[in-house]
Amino acid sequence: MIRRRAFLAATASATLARPAAAATAIRFVTDWKAQAEHGGFYQAVAEGHYAKRGLDVKILQGGPDVNVPQLLAGGAADFGMGSNSFISLNLVRTGVPLKAVMAIFQKDPQVLMSHPRRDINSLADMKGKPVLISAASMTAFWPWLKARFGFSDRQIRRYTYNLAPFILDPNAIQEGYLTSEPFTVEQQAHWKPKVFLLADEGYPGYANMVLVPQKWIDTNRRAVQVFVDATRDGWLRYLADPRPGNALIKRANPDITDAILAQALDKMKRYEMIISGDGRAFGLGSMTDRQWKLFRDTMASEGLYPKDLDYRKAYDLSFVRATLQKFQ
């Protein structure tokens, strides 16, 4: 009996001395410099939601020269942010094995804005009028505007990411991001532009998605699942009290101000960017086959994709469904 007790004591001591399993390191790259649109990810780091699930998450800032899919495909980052649904379908078309596993924004934040003029009260009112858009937008939401509202290429004026032409021309209309350009115009021009969110007029894309290489899904599903779970917690907490996340955002991006962060969060809430649509029906971050099919069909009808493009290869719904079941 004495020998047995000594053996058990030695075994227990060895167990206690054994080092804890190392955390799974994940480098998550965003699509731009740290901002409120990334708030839930930073909140999850600040409050330890990733750490308590065994993840060591490092957020890598994006920027104008950062190509998120390229970094993921090349192994320079592990997970990344997909700005819009076009990115995911483009990956399918080119055969790159990356999948969206959750969509933070149920609405794409793309807007058109005008001066406070009486003749513009809807997107339909912009038909035939000059619109400043970027080269990338010509193969993104512009074909949808043409199909939905009868816009034509004759309206296009090139947007070079300089707001001065729009501010100085009272007849100008310009593209923008709901949480960015309208606020900048207010600060620089001292008047409030009229803002029209394309998603509220039927534009069907998701945005702010988490992209994961297929090899992670195949070899470490648990890490992907707990990243989704922790990210969901981080975003719910950020919507309730953004201070921990904002502190990390300002540390990463010293140029951002409290005013910019506050107005962005206010618009995300007011325009129901996060808790609406599938997010309201199925939980924050959710996606559905129906919405992905609608996006593919809409853009295929304008010739942007083959009508038989297998849109289901763009995403994996199993992770957000698993998260939802835990909270039911």
Mean pLDDT, range 202-212, rounded to an integer: 95
Please give the structure tokens belonging to residue 222: 């648990």
Fold that domain 110-201 belongs to in CATH: D-Maltodextrin-Binding Protein; domain 2 (3.40.190)
Residue 111 confidence (pLDDT): 97
pLDDT at residue 8 is higher than 90: no
Bridge partners (DSSP) of residue 175 are 112
The CA radius of gyration of the chain, in Å to the nearest whole number, is: 23
**Could you tell me the two tokens for 65?**
């020269």
Q: Which of 34-48, 93-107, 266-280 has the lowest mean pLDDT?
A: 266-280
| 110-201 and 22-106+205-327 share a CATH fold | yes
**Which range, of 40-54, 63-77, 227-241, averages the lowest pLDDT?**
63-77
The token duo for 235 is 């975003």
Most distant CA atoms of the chain, gap in Å: 94
Q: Which of 63, 68, 70, 65 is nearest to 80 (CA)?
A: 68
Sign of CA dihedral 112, 116, 117, 119: positive
Torsion-angle region of 129 (φ positive above 0: left; ψ -120 to 50: alpha; else: beta): beta
- Tell me which of 140 and 113 has the higher pLDDT: 113
**Model confidence pLDDT, tens digit, residues 179-201:** 999 999 999 999 999 999 999 99
Q: Are 143 and 304 in contact (CB under 8 A)?
A: yes
Say if residue 290's pLDDT is above 60.
yes
pLDDT > 70? residue 311:
yes
**What is the predicted pLDDT for the residue at 322?**
67
Task: Write down the mean pLDDT value for the chain.
Answer: 91
Share of the chain above pLDDT 90, in %: 82
Q: How confident is the model at residue 302 (pLDDT cuts 50, 70, 90)?
A: confident
Q: What is the pLDDT of residues 51-87, one digit of tens each?
A: 999 999 999 999 888 899 999 999 999 999 999 999 9
Domain formed by 22-106+205-327, architecture: 3-Layer(aba) Sandwich (3.40)
Token representation of residue 104? 């933070």
Query: What local confidence, expressed as pLDDT, does residue 63 receive?
Result: 86
Domain limits, the chain? 22-106+205-327, 110-201
Query: Which pLDDT does position 4 carry in this prediction?
Result: 47
Enter the pTM of the model. Answer: 0.89
One-letter amino acid at 241 equals D
Cβ atoms within 10 Å, residue 291? 19
Could you tell me which residues come within 8 angstroms of residue 93 by beta carbon, excluding any fewer than 6 positions away? 305, 306, 309
Tell whether the torsion through CA atoms of 117, 121, 125 and 126 is positive or negative: positive
Q: What is the pLDDT of residue 324?
A: 52
Average pLDDT for 235-244: 98
Angle among Cα 113, 297, 129 to the nearest 5 degrees reads: 25
Secondary structure (3-state) at 242: coil
Mean pLDDT of 100-109: 96
> Cα–Cα distance between 281 and 58 in angstroms, integer?
31
List Cβ neighbours of 242 (8 Å cut-off, separation of 6 or more).
36, 39, 43, 261, 265
Q: How far is CA 265 from CA 39, 47, 51, 303, 317, in A?
A: 9, 18, 25, 35, 27
Whether residue 69 contacts residue 96, with contact meaning beta carbons closer than 8 Å, is answered with yes
Closest CA relative to residue 234, chosen from 249, 221, 216, 250: 249
Helix (H, G, I), strand (E, B) or coil at 251: helix
3-class SS letters over 54-83:
CEEEEEECCCCCCCHHHHHHHCCCCEEEEE
- Mean pLDDT calculated for residue range 14-26: 65
User: Residues 122-162: pLDDT tens digits?
Assistant: 999 999 999 999 888 888 899 899 988 999 999 999 998 89
pLDDT of residue 37: 97
pLDDT at 18 over 80: no
The pLDDT value given to residue 20: 54
Q: Which of 21, 11, 208, 190 is nearest to 106 (CA)?
A: 208
* Residue 68 structure tokens: 């998120």
Nearest CA to 133 out of 110, 164, 159 is that of 159
Q: Six-digit token pair at 1?
A: 């009996």
Any idea which residue has 């005008």 for tokens?
Answer: 114
Range name among 4-18, 55-69, 198-212, 305-319 with the lowest pLDDT average:
4-18
Query: How confident is the model over 254-265, as a mean pLDDT?
Result: 97
